[in-house]
Structure formats: C-alpha cells, structure tokens
A and B are shown apart, each in its own frame.
Chain A
Amino acid sequence: MTLLQQALAKGEFTVTAEVAPPKGTDTSEMMENAEFLRDKVHAVNVTDQQSSVMRLGSLASCRLLKEAGFEPVFQLTTRDRNRIALQSDLLSASALGIENVLCLTGDHVSLGDHPQAKPVFELDSVSLLMTAKRLQGGVDLAGNELEGKPTFHLGAVVTPGYEPMELQLLKMERKIKAGAQFFQTQAVYDPELFRRFMEGASDLGVPVMLGFVLLKSAGMARYMNKNVAGVSVPDWIIDEMKKTDDKVATSIKIVVRIIRQMREMCQGLHLMTLGWERHVPAILQEAGINI
C-alpha cells in the first residue's frame, strides 16, 4: 500500500499538491517547490506535459522526488503514447517504486506548444485504468503473461462543475469499474455545487479529493471562467481579488474559507498550485489541516 493509499484508507483528510517538471533538464526549481510541500502533504502529483506543453517527463520527475523522500503521484496521459509505450511506462513506474498513478486522457495537442504533433489517444482514461489493472493481474492488454506483476494505486479525475453533471457521474462510475481507486477533482469554488456533486459521487464509494487551483489574480479567475471547462469562479471571489492590494493574502483567505466549507463533504484536498507551492504551508495551517 502506498502512503497515499494508507491515508485514504484510514479515513484521514488527505492532502496532495502538484508540481510541474521543467521545460528542460534543470530540475532545481521543481525540487525547491517540492520542498515547500515536505511534511505538509501526503503526496505530490507530477503533471505529464501539462496543457500539451513538452517538458521533462513525469516518470523521471517522480523518481527524483521519491529519491528526495517525497511520495509521488505519477500523472499519465494517453495523448502521446500508444498502448505499448503506456504499458511499458506503467511497468517502469512500478519497478522504480512509483505506484500512485493518476490516469488521464490529457489535453488535445492543438492546445499546446507542438500543435503539429500527432495526437495519439489510442487509449483513453477509462481504458488506461483497465490496462493498469490488468497489468496488476499479471497479464498485458494483449493477454500475454508478465514476469513479475506491478503494483499500483490508481487514481482518476472528475469535473464536478460539468454540465450535465449526470454524464460526469456516469463516466466516473465507468472509471471505477475500470479500476479507479481514488479521484482528484477539477477545481471547484462553489460549495453548493460540490455538495450536489458529492451526493451523487459518495454512493460510488471511492474517496474524492477536492481540487483547487490557487487564484493569483482577478484576471486569472476571469480567464479560467472563460477558458477552463467545468470551472466557475464566483463573482464574490473575483471582486475580492480585484479590490485587494495583497493578492497572496487575499487568495489564501479565500481558499481557506472555501476549504472550511467543503472539507466535511469529501475525503481530501488536491491543490493545483501553478508555481505557488510556497504558499501551501500557510494555507493548510490556516485551514487547520495537519497531516
């Protein structure tokens, strides 16, 4: 059992935050950002070419973090690799001691920095989960037996603010059937919406970690409302961010307030920090979350 899995199984309020690998080989900033999270979160997600922007690999970064004493969550998308490469990376992850895997489809290549690339998407998040589960059973997707079985703790994502919500819940159910053992959500800022979502999701019996993108400015909030699907930042937050002279303090205040309102509804918190990892300790302290 991974540490993340143990925390969720024990019913602890579980916290993850993400770091992004660099564009290039200089990992110093990523490692510095991770340091802010040490002993503050249960595990650190490592994004896989987030927004389809080519970067250092998630798996290599996970390994570096593990060597530095962190518990990594390997984010794996189906955008860039066919089933041979995906299965191989899953085996590699397990062999390197990286067992938390967040299975994603990924953004389309047209949104990233190599729009000329071939979008692979041979598997999707559901079939990737199914594939990982099969590997754990000692058999690959083609039915061949493995010498040595990998071990995984499989996660997936869900978008509570999706319209129609029922369709997201159906997909969530399909992911669970395929092998998902925990969920991290897309960012949610509306407790009422999250309550409605959790009414449907808690029946499914799999831990859900509330996702949160730290808002750096009113402009960023407006941008997300316009461009990020399933995310809606309420007007009161935008107003507060607009009025303030101290964006960091206000952003933290907002996050803390919302976490307090929503933490009882779910099993954990997933912070998407986008470079603001250094503010995670303050957020968790003010929200009264100690791991």
Chain B
Amino acid sequence: MTTTAPGTFTPQPGRAPLTRMITAQAAMELRITLRRGESVLLTLIIPVLMLFGLARVDVIDVPGSRIAFFTPGILALAIMSTAFTGQAIATGFERQYGVLKRLGASPLPRWGLLTAKTAAVVVLEIGQIAVLSVVALLLGWSPRGSFFTVVLLVLLGTTVFSALALLLAGTLRAEATLAAANLIWFVFLVSGGVLFPLSRFSPAVRDLLRWLPLPALADGMRAVLRDGALLPRHDVAVLVVWAAVLVTATASTFRWE
C-alpha cells in the first residue's frame, strides 16, 4: 500500500482511438479463446484428427479421392466451430458474467465490440485454415478452384454462423446456449455433408438439407476446391439468405445483459 502523489487521479477523460480500442479488445478475445482448452479442442484438434482419420481409414465410402472429398467439408466444419459453436458459448457466458454489460459502460462502442469479436474469429479461422490445409497437403490434397471464391464462401459462412451464435447467446441463458450450440454442431456434423455425402440421404431429406447453412458451406467449398467451380450459385444464395435473416434477427433481439 503506497500513497499517491497529489494529481495522480486528476480527471483526464477521453476515449482511445477506435483502432486501438478494437485491436486491444480483439487481442483479448483471442487470448481468452486460446486459453480455453475445450475451444482449442473443438476448433483445431478435432478437425485435424477427423482429417487424418477420414482420409486414411476407409470406414466411410465416398466418391473419388477421399482427401479431396473430406478437406472442404472439414474446413467448413472448422469455420462453424469457431464462428458459431465457440463464439456462442463464449458470448453466452460473457453475458451471464456481466462482461458485455461492463464493456457497454466502457468507451468501446457496441459495434466496436462486435467488430473485435469478428476480427478475433477471422484470425482464428485463418489459423485453422492454414493448419488444416498444411495437414491436407501432407496427406496428398491438391486443391483446385478460385481463391477468391473460397474467401467469399468463408466470409459468408462466418457471417451466418456468427449471427446465429449471437442470436442464441443474446437471447438464451448461458447453459441453454451451451447445450444448443453443441447440439447444432453435432447435428450438422452428421447431416452437413462433412462425414458423408448428402446423397446418402433420401431425396426429400437431401433437398431439405441443401437449404441449411453448413451443408451449403460444405457443398460450396467442395464444389470449388474439388471440382473447380467458379461460383456455386445455389450454395452462395443459401448463405446470403441465411446471413440476411440471421443478422436481422440478431440485431433486433440481442440483449447485452
């Protein structure tokens, strides 16, 4: 316990430049995420193990090259894990612990907080995509297609899944968000065209699934990276519609407290 010199606390209020605020907040989000073992497991270890297992072990029959089939789907799954599952759970607990409320009283504007969260998600995704791509390349993957179309799909997928994450986290209790986020992750893992092609389902189910976000993202990634499609119109359209619906719903329902 020391005494302070007079004038130490003399008010000098003011907000930091926006870029400094957002960078600091994004760095915090990133460190907190990387510190949580379960989020590293979910976003990195599970996808890498899946890639190894599915490419090497012949349990699930797929048409053509195994690595060419599985890599795009697992990239899509990894994006969902980060943008949706991880973010929904983290934000749900931040709301429960009053972190969002407290930050609401700080000089960081709310849109700045959302920007920082998105920046942290994108940085994580870049890391995931890099690691998964290297592993896939080592396993003999030779991707095709346009880099820019992949970026477009990743950005659309990130928007859809982030909005869905915030929709759950901003309305449900943290425990309910946790349960729902894990359940949705699992349902999409099984039915999203990641583990096996949608052609395994009956035509009626398949037509339904094609309108959902993860199947669209996985299918779009596969169309580009495996088949060299220039623009998978159906998948992009599905993602755009979901993005519009979910961003609107989230913006009108999100509660910070």
Chain B associates with chain A: no
Chain B residues close to A by CB (< 8 Å)? none
Chain A residues close to B by CB (< 8 Å)? none
